Chain A
Amino acid sequence: MPILEAIDVHGGYGGMNILNGVDMAIEADEVGVIVGPNGAGKSTMLKAVFGLLTITGGEIRLRGEPITNLSPHKLVEMGMGFVPQEKNIFPSLSVEENLEMGAFLKPATASRLKQQIFEFFPPLKEKRRQPAGELSGGQRQMVAMGRALMNEPSVLLLDEPTAGLSPLYMNEIFERVKAIAASGVGVLMVEQNAKQALRIAHRGFVLAAGQNRFTDTGEALLNDPQVARSFLGG
């Protein structure tokens, strides 16, 4: 059974439908990557999963349980983590405090998990007392992911985690994403850097106009000439 499953999801903002029937499913140790042109509804889909916009049709399931239109707060309790694209840290809080906020619902495990996160993202350990707003872009992204991981999620949603990062950091972040999935967390992420992202993806979903255009393994999509031509720039 997939850990996260979306079946024929419709939805949008203020009566305007952006999603017109999206299907996706990922297993507990898989990376799912959503790619597609601008305006295809990639980020919208992620927000729909996290309960940030009203779904007008279809269903979303977490471990087989329906979670359609549950509030973000409830979803966090059920083990979902979300890292927005922008404003994904608390800038005036220290790195350590940012992580603690991620474990707000499970304070007892905070210090143990914090150590794990520091081992997982070594650059954060030395900057633990520094306000997160003073870090570089890549380190901020690590803080943001670390904060979401502090809740020990079973599913992690990442909205363009490598946007605006240098290639060095991008690879670093993708490596970490792979490692997160390997530890048994289902990762669903939206990416602009489609080729690199599909390389680590177990599942790839190519969206266009709010619908699945291609759905396959990452590798298969990369090798599909049609996908390459239309969506990956040749």
Chain B
Amino acid sequence: MNDSDSTSQPRRSTPQPSQNASQHRRDAPALARPTLPLRELVLFGGLAVIVLGVFSMMGPAYATRMLVEASCYAILALGLTIQWGYAGQFNAGIMGFVALGGFSATFFSIPVNHAFWQSDLPARLGWVLLAIIAVVAIVFAITRLDRIGVPKLLRTILAVVAGLIGYLVVVSWLRSVTGDIESQVEFIGGLGLPVWLGWIVGGALAGGIGYVIGHICLGLRSDYLVIATLGIAEIIKAFLKNSDWLTRGTATISPLPWPVPTPGDVGFLSARAFYLAVTVVMIAVIFFLLHRAYHAPWGRMIRAIRDNEVSAAAMGKSINRRRQEIFVFGCILMGVGGAALTSFNGIFDPQGYLPLNHTFLVLVMVILGGPGNNLGTLFGAVLVYVIWIMSGPLALALMHLVTALGGDWFGWQPGNLDSRALQARVFVIGLLILMVLRFAPRGLIPEKVAQHD
């Protein structure tokens, strides 16, 4: 079929690596479909006009900041698009992976707290960690007592009792140590290492959590994954928020170091532009890797599993293994993206991670842009983020208008207009999700399903 049209190259041709990397924004549409990417050109052209409009209206420093944030979101969105678009796994806990990445970036990059390291607290913390390992080892050993003929029921009871007692002992011990940390040295501080190390470890942490969740849920109905990711995200947030000894909790940590010169050294615009260069290179690398993977046998297998699980299984594909890989990979991207976003924001505030901003906004980016289409996802990420940022002042203005009218007509006088205006945006995001699902279920730049013979 492909070869009959002499003007078009076969779809499956692998793009030349040299075409990619730094220039991907302009070249990528041509890569995705060598024929005539009119739709992509028009949409990206329109997006460029909008971005230029923001530049001229709000000034370059503001607009660059917006672009950096949008690029961080694009990394998150790419993470979701491979989970949801490639493999049909829906992750509703992006926020948790973002927060984990953010914490890792913070912990690795902020200066060392010498007061903590010179006290006896690190040693005591170390002992608690050893105790945790010991408890785990004991419980594990009890579950293996069948070697000497202990019946299953007794083993279970023993394991539960030992686990519970060990847990209570360790936790009360940990409470006293962390309490002392908080009262004597405030918190344990950071490691003072380069920030990119934190980003990598953040990705690894997120991937690790993703592995555990995936291991439990991926063999089950897809809804269970949604519930589990939703839950784990809240738990990660609760942990980061309440572990003052580790994260200063609600007191927040700032400033966070950047991998590039900071505004203090070279001014806002240049610093942000440097940062943007870093994130754009990251996206380019991810994009390139995904593009290769998508068209490789691995990507075809993933899509085969998504589209027809039964026949893929009948062909001898190891479904759960592939799903696991894709889920973990998506989570890693979310961790890295979250780390980059947090570093850029310059403040680690566990309460600042919100399901709305860090989960549902990303969801909208992906389903609006085109799940399973990297380019569409990129487009969706930038477009939705620009709209999101710009809709804040707009919503406030609208709210003032509505209250003015409401006050005149019904005597309705709500207080706290700013937060209410934000809620109006929540409503719009929800409505947008529903509208896209109904009227453009495959997004603005849909995944191109190859028509093989």
A and B touching (C-beta < 8 Å)? no
